[in-house]
């Protein structure tokens, strides 16, 4: 079977030097972080195929414009992410270069493997690019919507194995967001609306309504747009409309049954709605279609914890094999091991999570609870670290207040009880604990008021 695709190749420049100068674990950690980021971004844009080559990726997209938008965002996001990685890996930097070409690709029968001249040319285009740069062929240039891009002539290149003696390549600099935003709405295509929506995907509340409108407009123009259905479902779930979100996830999967991100997002919704059986089915589908889908495996592990701890353990191990530097994966695995009674293993996981993300409030909090029975001083330090990382962390304020109360530091305990109540005045536990503290201080009136309030909150009266 042959299909025309926009073919993208990426390459981690100078990756061999990193292998030669840092430990194997550190080098693998950098590369797996790149792999995770690139696959996560590609899923937002609806890539149709991906193959990790060890030092980069092959991606196939149906649209040249989508491929260019994705490539530019990947370069920008990886540049930002690798700054922190370089700081922790003795200054070794690992930029990427990206090449893109459009042409015919052939799928090998009964396998999700693709070959073809377009793939070979895209690889040569990538090899010609500078670090942190996207080079495109003239074929891509002729297909994209030129007025919304900033690009430069990169020169004429002899590409190894090309049937042409020379090929003109172009350096794609950026998307002109102002030009895209200024386009009259009646001139915009479904793809224009989709790309505008993905570009708005900052997560900020004031952008959500605009992003929502973009995906709805895209679907008005092309109802059979699975990526738009999926992204709209994500937004609707975030806004609390589970019913409509489910409709769009189901439509995305009807249009594209082998859509791993569609299965994953629908599984999350089903799990939160209490349909754990159907959620498990969709998590398994997502993992079957994309075995290295780290986020799906992590969610699936959490779903399995109660009824199948052996399989949950296997999923957590696979998550950390695929992405050793995954702070959330280490934290969640630590919680699981602690429940299973493996305190040493849990402690090691919390410490790895904090090594990878020192400001990870949940990991500080979970580690504090693990330490509290045997090392109250270090537990206090971890609770304080959790609050520094997230000042409005209700549970951390409450637990630290209890610990300080038990240690006899009543003024400090009172400050944290009051902070907890400021965050959640109707928390019965915090009201009860503050009443106990007031009682210890001899303040009978305050104690009586908070005891009464705690009882009313517990009884619901």
- For residue range 181-217, what is the model confidence (pLDDT) as tens digits? 888 999 999 999 999 999 887 555 668 899 999 999 9
Question: What is the rounded distance in angstroms from the CA atom of residue 50 to the CA atom of residue 290?
Answer: 10
For residues 172 and 191, membership in a common domain is answered with no
367 is a domain residue? no
For residues 94 and 202, membership in a common domain is answered with no
The answer for residues whose C-beta is within 8 angstroms of residue 381's C-beta and 6 or more apart is: 368
For residues 9 and 120, membership in a common domain is answered with yes
For residues 140 and 223, membership in a common domain is answered with no
Per DSSP bridges, beta strands 133-137 and 167-175 are antiparallel
For residues 148 and 246, membership in a common domain is answered with no
Q: Distance from CA of residue 90 to its chain's centroid?
A: 25
For residues 106 and 24, membership in a common domain is answered with yes
For residues 155 and 31, membership in a common domain is answered with yes
Residue 93's pLDDT is 76
For residues 93 and 230, membership in a common domain is answered with no
The model carries a pTM of 0.87
Residue 461's pLDDT is 60
**Residue closest to 348 by CA, chosen among 322, 387, 316:** 316
For residues 57 and 119, membership in a common domain is answered with yes
301 is a domain residue? no
Report, as ranges of residue numbers, the positions in the chain whose pLDDT lies below 50: 90
Range(s) of the domain holding residue 202: 183-257
**34 vs 93, 99, 415, CA distance in Å?**
12, 17, 43
- For residue range 15-74, what is the model confidence (pLDDT) as tens digits? 666 666 777 777 788 888 899 999 999 998 988 888 898 888 999 999 999 999 999 999
- Number of folded domains that form the chain: 2
Residue 67's pLDDT is 96
284 is a domain residue? no
Helix axis angle for 205-221 and 190-200, nearest 10°, is 160
Residue 87's pLDDT is 62
Question: What is the rounded distance in angstroms from the CA atom of residue 91 to the CA atom of residue 86?
Answer: 5
CATH number at residue 247: 1.25.40.10
365 is a domain residue? no
The residue among 223, 257, 291 that closes a domain is 257
Residue 204's pLDDT is 59
From its phi and psi, is residue 6 left (phi > 0), alpha (psi between -120 and 50) or beta?
beta
How many helices and strands in the chain, by DSSP H and E? Answer: 22, 8
């Amino acid at each position: 079977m042959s299909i025309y695709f926009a073919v993208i190749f990426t390459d981690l420049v100078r990756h061999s030097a990193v292998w030669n100068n840092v430990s194997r674990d550190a080098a693998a950690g950098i590369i797996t972080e790149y792999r995770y980021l690139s696959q996560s971004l590609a899923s937002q844009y609806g890539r149709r195929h991906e193959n990790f080559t060890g030092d980069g990726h092959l991606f196939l997209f149906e649209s040249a414009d989508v491929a260019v938008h994705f490539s530019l965002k990947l370069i920008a996001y990886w540049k930002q992410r690798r700054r922190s990685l370089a700081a922790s890996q003795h200054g070794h930097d690992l930029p990427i270069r990206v090449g893109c070409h459009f042409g015919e690709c052939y799928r090998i029968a009964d396998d999700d493997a693709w070959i073809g001249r377009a793939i070979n040319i895209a690889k040569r285009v990538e090899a010609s690019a500078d670090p942190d740069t996207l080079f495109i062929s003239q074929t891509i240039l002729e297909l994209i919507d030129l007025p919304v891009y900033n690009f430069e002539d990169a020169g004429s290149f002899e590409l190894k194995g090309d049937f042409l003696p020379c090929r003109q390549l172009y350096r794609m600099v950026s998307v002109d967001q102002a030009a895209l935003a200024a386009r009259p709405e009646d001139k915009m295509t479904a793809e224009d609306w989709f790309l505008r929506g993905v570009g708005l995907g900052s997560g900020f509340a004031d952008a959500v309504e605009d992003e929502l409108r973009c995906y709805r407009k895209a679907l008005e123009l092309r109802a059979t747009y699975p990526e738009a259905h999926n992204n709209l479902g994500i937004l609707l779930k975030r806004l609390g409309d589970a019913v409509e979100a489910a409709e769009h996830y189901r439509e995305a999967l009807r249009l594209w049954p082998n859509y791993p991100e569609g299965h994953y997002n629908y599984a999350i919704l089903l799990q939160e709605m209490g349909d754990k059986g159907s959620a498990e089915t969709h998590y398994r589908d997502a993992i079957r279609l994309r075995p290295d889908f780290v986020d799906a495996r992590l969610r699936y592990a959490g779903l399995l914890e109660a009824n199948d701890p052996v399989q949950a353990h296997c999923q957590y191990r696979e998550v950390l094999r695929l992405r050793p530097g995954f702070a959330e994966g280490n934290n969640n695995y630590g919680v699981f091991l602690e429940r299973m009674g493996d305190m040493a293993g849990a402690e090691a996981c919390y410490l790895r999570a904090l090594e990878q993300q020192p400001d990870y409030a949940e990991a500080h909090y979970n580690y504090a609870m693990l330490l509290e029975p045997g090392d109250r001083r270090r537990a206090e330090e971890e609770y304080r670290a959790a609050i520094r990382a997230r000042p409005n962390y209700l549970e951390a304020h409450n637990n630290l207040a209890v610990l300080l109360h038990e240690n006899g530091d009543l003024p400090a305990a009172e400050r944290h009880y009051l902070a907890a109540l400021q965050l959640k005045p109707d928390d019965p536990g915090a009201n009860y604990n503050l009443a106990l503290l007031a009682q210890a201080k001899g303040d009978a009136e305050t104690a009586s008021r908070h005891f009464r309030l705690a009882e009313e909150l517990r009884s619901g009266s």
